[in-house]
A and B are shown apart, each in its own frame.
Chain A
Amino acid sequence: NAGVMQNPRHLVRRRGQEARLRCSPMKGHSHVYWYRQLPEEGLKFMVYLQKENIIDESGMPKERFSAEFPKEGPSILRIQQVVRGDSAAYFCASSPFQVMNTEAFFGQGTRLTVV
């Protein structure tokens, strides 16, 4: 049973380009959470999705960021027109239940560097 899979592990983008980060939840998990870890800061919630639905996007920046979790395929976090301040580690976690009252399962993260 593979864990939460994120790719790519490392992503370098020039300012103004688009970044697409992918997250495949654990088998049987239909809930996905994205978190961002800025350099020297703690993790912050971004968005919570179920299949084909955004449940809570209260942590998403209002512009340039979007997320989806289609019926088939991985969840995608998309950052348009990246800026240096977007450089961070982006982690995905998955859960089989609506509330994270089970062990947290995280991916290895995608480290985005904007140059």
Chain B
Amino acid sequence: KNEVEQSPQNLTAQEGEFITINCSYSVGISALHWLQQHPGGGIVSLFMLSSGKKKHGRLIATINIQEKHSSLHITASHPRDSAVYICAVSLYNTDKLIFGTGTRLQVFP
């Protein structure tokens, strides 16, 4: 079993829909990251969370430390949001990131 699990693996949506991507982890962490990767592109950091909730534009990220679960929400989705969204965690006693396998999102006009 992977230490970081994401769901769903693939997600399609119509423009304007509200989108939720989930991430569960099974290890102790110091922080959780949400990353975005466009096809053939680099990796961009969206959020770094250690507790609570963060919002940036149409993106909202939440984390529940007790339940070891985080969600990434996209409100009013747009075709330009189409990308792979990756959850990653920083472990307590190491300094490397452990990644989920990513969620491939396609938003159609």
A residues neighboring B (CB under 8 Å):
31, 33, 35, 41-45, 48, 55-56, 59, 91, 93, 95, 98-109, 111
Contacts and interface: CB of A to CB of B under 8 A. Distances in A.
B41 A105 contact: no
B96 A33 contact: yes
B50 A101 contact: yes
A104 B90 CA distance: 10
Interface of B: 30-31, 33, 35, 40-45, 48, 50, 86, 88, 90, 94-102
16 contacts: A33-B96, A35-B97, A41-B101, A42-B102, A43-B43, A43-B88, A43-B97, A48-B95, A56-B95, A59-B96, A93-B97, A103-B33, A104-B33, A104-B35, A105-B45, A106-B44
A35 B102 CA distance: 15
Mostly, the B contact residues are strand
Given A42-B86, A55-B95, A56-B94, A104 B45 contact: yes
A106 B88 CA distance: 13
Contacts, number: 70
B58 to A, nearest CB: 19
Contact of B100 (A42, A56, A102, A107): A42
B30 A44 contact: no
A44 B99 contact: yes
Given A55-B95, A105-B45, 18 more contacts: A33-B97, A42-B102, A43-B43, A43-B97, A56-B94, A95-B95, A99-B90, A100-B30, A100-B95, A102-B48, A104-B35, A104-B48, A106-B42, A106-B43, A107-B42, A108-B41, A108-B42, A109-B43
Contacts of B96: 33, 45, 48, 56, 59, 100
